[in-house]
């Protein structure tokens, strides 16, 4: 029970990695603050955590790239639990396009959701962590943070910047007992971009064949496998780790 009585705030909680990580934290005793754009899904997940793990859960639906939403969320979390021990910045979007065909609005939205939200959450949560004597932040970056991904210009740039946000924050707050690290997943079982373009079993089979060809493990990653890494970075087992990017991609970038 590595997270007994710890307070964990998770953004993008209703998505694939958000739910797997929520379950990992809940199963090890955490109190949860769950937030997502999708209110229904986040409420359903919270109800499951209460029923299955006996978790205490605060939920909130909203856009975590908006300052007022983040301020309200952090305030509500602190009022409910008194502190936030672990912040998991995980909300993200994955539009496709190169620099020519990416509309400016899509570029701006990607930076807003994938980067500004993490900046806002981090800057609003850290003061309470300092007051409490420390804390841990985990950011969901991507292998696209360091390897240019074809036809994902805005996404790759936003995730590269998120990795740098991880590092500068780790440096600036290391002496205040705040650790900041990033997980960098490769291709996961339900790849975000694919949900928009894969509409048939045949296309899914083609995609699986492609994954077998390019990924040394010959399969996609499972959300639970990334959630295990998130939990490792969030708990005391990684007490000497900060500013690091942990890749989990089945060998894709080796």
**How near is the Cβ of 209 to ligand NAD at its closest, in Å?**
17
**Phi and psi at residue 58, in whole multiples of 5°?**
-110, 130
Is there binding between residue 63 and ligand NAD (CB under 6 A)?
A: yes
The H-or-E segment that residue 48 falls in is helix 39-53
Is 105 exposed, middle or buried (CB count within 10 Å of its CB: 0-12, 13-18, 19+)?
A: exposed
- Give me the residues paired with residue 138 across strands: 88, 181
Number of residues this chain uses to bind ligand NAD (CB under 6 A) = 27
Can you say whether the dihedral through the CA atoms of 211, 147, 229, 193 is positive or negative? negative
What is the radius of gyration, based on Cα positions, of the chain?
A: 18
From 77, 92, 95, 135, residue interacting with ligand NAD (rule: CB under 6 A): 92
> Alpha carbon 216 to chain centroid distance?
24
Query: 142 vs 236, which CB is nearer to ligand NAD?
Result: 142
Q: Whole-number minimum distance, CB 55 to ligand NAD, in Å?
A: 19
Please, which residue, 55 or 117, has the CB nearer to ligand NAD?
117
Question: Which of 140, 156, 166, 247: binder of ligand NAD (CB under 6 A)?
Answer: 140
Residue 251: strand, helix, or coil: coil
93 binds ligand NAD (CB under 6 A): yes
Contact 124, 70 (CB under 8 A): yes
User: Dihedral of CA 171/75/107/226: which sign?
Assistant: positive
Identify the three-state secondary structure at position 186: coil
Closest residue to ligand NAD, Cβ-based? 15
The verdict on whether 53 is a catalytic residue reads: no
Q: Does 188 bind ligand NAD (CB under 6 A)?
A: yes
Residues numbered 5-44 forming contacts with ligand NAD, rule: CB under 6 A:
11-12, 14-18, 36-38
Cβ closest to ligand NAD, residue 69 vs residue 132: 69
Cα 248 to the chain's mean position, in Å? Answer: 14
**Binding residues for ligand NAD restricted to 193-252, rule: CB under 6 A:** none
Catalytic site positions: 155
Residues that bind ligand NAD (CB under 6 A): 11-12, 14-18, 36-38, 63-65, 90-94, 113, 117, 140, 142, 185, 187-188, 191-192
């Amino acid at each position: 029970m590595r997270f007994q009585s710890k307070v964990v705030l998770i953004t993008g909680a209703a998505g694939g990695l958000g739910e797997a990580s929520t379950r990992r934290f809940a199963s090890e005793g955490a109190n949860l603050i769950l937030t997502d754009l999708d209110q229904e899904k986040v409420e359903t997940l919270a109800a499951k955590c209460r029923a299955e793990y006996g978790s205490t859960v605060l939920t909130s639906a909203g856009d975590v790239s908006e300052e007022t939403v983040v301020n309200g969320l952090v305030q509500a979390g602190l009022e409910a639990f008194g502190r936030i021990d672990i912040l998991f910045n995980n909300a993200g979007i994955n539009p496709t396009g190169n620099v020519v065909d990416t509309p400016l609005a899509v570029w701006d939205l990607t930076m807003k959701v994938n980067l500004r939200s993490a900046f806002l959450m981090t800057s609003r949560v850290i003061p309470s962590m300092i007051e409490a004597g420390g804390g841990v932040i985990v950011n969901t970056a991507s292998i696209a943070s360091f390897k240019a991904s074809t036809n994902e210009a805005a996404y790759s740039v936003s995730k590269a910047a998120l990795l740098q946000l991880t590092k500068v924050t780790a440096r600036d707050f290391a002496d205040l007992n705040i650790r900041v690290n990033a997980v960098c997943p490769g291709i996961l079982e339900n790849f975000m971009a694919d949900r928009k373009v894969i509409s048939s079993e045949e296309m899914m089979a083609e995609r699986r064949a492609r994954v077998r060809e390019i990924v040394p493990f010959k399969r996609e990653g499972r959300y639970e496998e990334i959630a295990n890494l998130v939990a490792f970075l969030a708990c005391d087992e990684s007490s000497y780790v900060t500013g690091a990017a942990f890749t989990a991609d089945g060998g894709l970038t080796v």
